[in-house]
Amino acid sequence: MKILVTGGTGYIGSHTVVALQNEGFDVVIIDNLCNSERKVVDSIAQITGKKPIFEEIDLVDRKKTLECLKKHKDIVGVIHFAALKAVGESVKKPLFYYRNNIYSLINLLEAMQSNAIDNIVFSSSCTVYGQPDQLPVKEDSPLKKAKSPYGNTKKMSEDIIIDTSEVTSLKCISLRYFNPIGAHKSALIGELPIGIPDNLVPYITQAAIGKRKYVRVFGNDYNTHDGTAIRDYIHITDLAKAHVIAINRLLSKTNKKQFEIFNLGTGRGNTVLEVIESFEKVSGLKLNYKFVDRRKGDIEKVWADTSFANRELGWKAEKGLDEMMISAWNWEKALAQKAD
Ligand code: NAD
Ligand code: WQD
């Protein structure tokens, strides 16, 4: 069975293509390479022994998107990762973000409709919950006003899909990711942050390899046990597996509603200092870190209630923080070797 993976050369997309191919699916990737590299396709082939079909297309281009889906007639489902994702950049360039993330989705949904493709797995984010009133956060927790245009595109996208699924045969599983980190055990694929990373783990690994002077810890006066903020970090390969289960659920028609939402996290929260400690333990290195002011827009703490995903998808994140940090470190070292 053939699955279209948009954003398939990106961080989460590439790991999901590997998981799909390992389960016997054929994959067509659409990506415009605005935040990834074509050679990821070769790395996927090296890991799985199978090269996915790659189409370099910007999903904002309605005509090309339509043509591409028409060309690959036998696609039975779509996993939609393609989006811009830098929260800070979205605040500075809101229209750029709305155009890319919203037009892409609309074009894709129209192309799916024209080709009678009914199944879509959508990449959503825990960002839609803001600072939840109750922790762990469940899927039916009230959504908070988005703090960034990026976050808003996730909420808007879910609404666009819901409205469409109410009047067509479209079925969707929206996966709300918490904080995906780490890399494939081969260290052949991983996250490729361009410029200075916004996210904690690539910042830590870059500091450890000598690309950054020190790790800035944003805030040590939060109401948590060590004063630093708490997130639910999840290993990228655990996250990827959930996508295979989700698309299988749609294809086998075992979904219970036309639009379903699942939290993808471990159900455990860790502070920034615990992440640093885990990195130091597995790498044997001492990290240079400094406390700086809180980052604007950051929430204090969030972690997932994963019981619905555990029960309904039969999925559970298996890997712990140390495994996440080892894989992230191996990936950073592999990148450094390639650069030499
Ligand atoms: P990524 O940037 O590594 O991958 C996204 C891919 O989409 C890139 O390869 C990029 O080139 C491509 N793309 C972007 N706009 C496109 C367009 N118009 N046409 C074609 N391709 C386009 O990001 P990621 O971390 O893999 O994230 C994947 C998805 O998961 C995104 O929707 C993101 O918002 C969502 N998400 C990510 C995180 C995270 O922490 N990484 C958390 C929650 C949700
Ligand atoms: C984690 C923790 C920081 C960097 C972001 C997006 C969110 C979602 C996931 C897409 C926080 C602290 C960070 C640093 C630090 N993405 N930190 N020093 O902010 O939880 O979520 O990625 O949907 O929308 O906002 O992730 O990795 O940036 O931060 O102290 O240099 O690490 O304050 O507590 P975040 P992050």
Residue-wise pLDDT for 159-218, tens only, equals 999 999 999 999 999 999 999 999 999 999 999 888 899 999 999 999 999 999 999 999
Per-residue confidence band for 338, with pLDDT thresholds at 50, 70 and 90: confident
Q: What is the pLDDT of residue 264?
A: 98
Q: Is the model's pLDDT at 236 over the cut of 90? A: yes
Q: What is the pLDDT of residue 60?
A: 98
- Give the tens place of pLDDT for each residue, 49-99: 999 999 999 999 999 999 999 999 999 999 999 999 999 999 999 999 999
Per-residue confidence band for 340, with pLDDT thresholds at 50, 70 and 90: confident
Contact 325, 283 (CB under 8 A): yes
Instruction: Give CA separation, 253 vs 60, 170, 214, 313, in Å.
Output: 30, 12, 50, 13
Q: What is the pLDDT of residue 332?
A: 98
Per-residue confidence band for 32, with pLDDT thresholds at 50, 70 and 90: very high
Query: One of 11, 129, 150, 203 is an active-site residue; which one?
Result: 150
Looking at per-residue pLDDT, the higher value among 339 and 241 belongs to 241
User: Is there an atom of ligand 1 within 6 Å of 33 CB?
Assistant: yes
CA of residue 46 to ligand 1 center, whole Å = 22
Domains and CATH numbers, the chain: 2-181+234-264 (3.40.50.720), 200-231+267-335 (3.90.25.10)
User: Is there an atom of ligand 1 within 6 Å of 80 CB?
Assistant: no
Cα–Cα dist 168/178, whole Å: 30
Specify the ligand 2 atom closest to the Cα of 302: 20
Specify the ligand 2 atom closest to the Cα of 272: 32
CA of residue 89 to ligand 2 center, whole Å = 14
Per-residue confidence band for 339, with pLDDT thresholds at 50, 70 and 90: confident
Q: Is the model's pLDDT at 302 over the cut of 90? A: yes
150 noted as active-site residue: yes
pTM of the prediction? 0.98
Instruction: Give CA separation, 177 vs 102, 215, 238, in Å.
Output: 19, 24, 11
Instruction: Give CA separation, 328 vs 9, 37, 55, 178, 334, in Å.
Output: 18, 19, 28, 17, 10
User: Is there an atom of ligand 1 within 6 Å of 82 CB?
Assistant: yes
